[in-house]
Amino acid sequence: PYLTDFLPSLVAGVIATPIALVAVFSFDVVAGVFALVTLPLIPAFMVLIGTLTAARTEQRLRVSTALGHQIADLLRGAPTLRAMQASTRPGEHIRDAGARHAASTMGVLRLAFLSSFALEFLATLSVALVAVSIGLRLVYGDISLLAGLVVLIVVPEVFNPVRKVGANYHAAADGLEAVDKVLSLIDAPTATAGSYLTPARSGVEVDSLSVTGRDGTLPHNLSFRAHPGEVTVLRGPNGTGKSTTFLAILGALPDTDVSGRIAVGGEVAFLAARPATVPGTVRENLELFGAPVTPTPLAPTVEPERFIDPASRGVSAGELQLIGLTRTLASPAPIVLLDEPTAHLSPERVAEVLDAIRDAAERGRTVLVASHDMRVAEVSDKVVDL
């Protein structure tokens, strides 16, 4: 609405209003003075009402944004809520948020109707003053009938563009508020990440690493060395900072959240706890990072041409894990980070994964594994407890 309605009406007002005003003055100076004196009242009331409307519009945008976030969170957690039979309270929260959104919207609409009434009243009053002036002067013969008719026809066009600007302002208010928020995000300083990383000759060196997040400082003052040809396991229960340590090694955390030193000796291949996929076949996802994947015992026993959709549907959780493992270990990177590589796998597949991890280390690669699986610790060269 801002680009399609408000701006065109604003441009039309800037061009058409002066032309119509000059035409009125050319036929009748008195009517032109009436129009010129009353015309500034409309923008003055627009500014006054627009200031109040802006505050209400900002409030409505905040309520609408909060409602959208609540609905998104509810949809993401709906299966869990249904499983735990706890869907009543979130539904009440959504209804309350919807009621607040409706009340806020009605408040903005009331202001919009009030401003429209004020603009229409002022424009009508201004035209009426000109009409009364022309009528009285026609009685006394101070103005010709032709001039009076022309002025009565033209004078509404002096106010009409300004009225359209006022009417379209409310249609554009939501867009203007949203644009302000988007521009504030664009102009906000971007937090740097990864500058705490330094190069190493080989392997990975972590000294006094602490990462501050919403759950506290995890890990806290962590130090270890991972050497080429070794399997190093970061062991600990969920929530102790294993995945966070991997993100720090990858340089993916903001500098402001990280203290300590990390030295990395080369490129890194990373397997996330949930392997990434793209819409395409199993073969395309296996070769996603450009490394050719030759048939190995670790490869998933699924058809290479089976399609995987954007939500990773088409393969099971175990097959998805094997796709990620096969792809990561096929990478030529000298450092390999594996986050919970044995998750969702059968005991037979776990044994194959452990053999593949040992084989990668024996070929001189630095293998770092985050896991609380004791079977992984048994084949490791070093265990770091978090």
Question: What residues of the chain score a pLDDT lower than 50?
Answer: none
pLDDT of residue 305: 77
Structure confidence at residue 344 (pLDDT): 86
Instruction: Round to whole Å and give the CA distance between 137 and 148.
Output: 9
In this prediction, residue 368 carries a pLDDT of 95
Where do we find the tokens 């928020």? 181
Would you state the pLDDT for residue 358? Answer: 93
pLDDT at 354: 92
Ramachandran region of residue 85, left (φ > 0), alpha (ψ -120 to 50) or beta?
left
How crowded is residue 17: how many other Cβ atoms within 10 Å of its Cβ? 19
Bridge partners (DSSP) of residue 264 are 199, 204
pLDDT, tens digit (0-9, with 9 covering 90-100), for 122-177: 888 888 888 998 998 888 888 888 888 998 999 888 888 877 776 676 566 666 66
Structural domains of the chain ordered from first start: 2-187 (1.20.1560.10), 197-385 (3.40.50.300)
Residue 138 phi/psi, 5-degree rounding, is -65, -35
Of 206, 171, 166, 156, the closest CA to residue 48 belongs to 166
The DSSP annotation for 36-93 comes to: HHHTTHHHHHHHHHHHHHHHHHHHHHHHHHHHHHHHHHHHHHHHHHHHTT--HHHHHH
**According to the model, what pLDDT value does residue 162 have?**
79
Q: Is 20 helix (H, G, I), strand (E, B) or coil?
A: helix
- Please name the residues in contact with 202: beta carbons below 8 A apart, sequence gap of 6 or more: 227, 228, 265, 266, 334, 366
E strand segments, 214-370: 216-217, 222-226, 231-235, 258-264, 268-271, 280-281, 307-308, 335-339, 366-370
C-alpha span between 169 and 46 (Å, rounded): 9
3-state secondary structure of 337: strand
Residue 332: per-residue pLDDT: 87
> What does the pLDDT look like over 103-129, one tens digit per residue?
777 776 777 777 777 777 888 888 888
- Interatomic CA distance for residues 296 and 313, integer angstroms: 23
> Is residue 384 a contact partner of residue 233, using CB atoms and an 8 Å limit?
yes
Tokens standing for residue 203: 């392997």
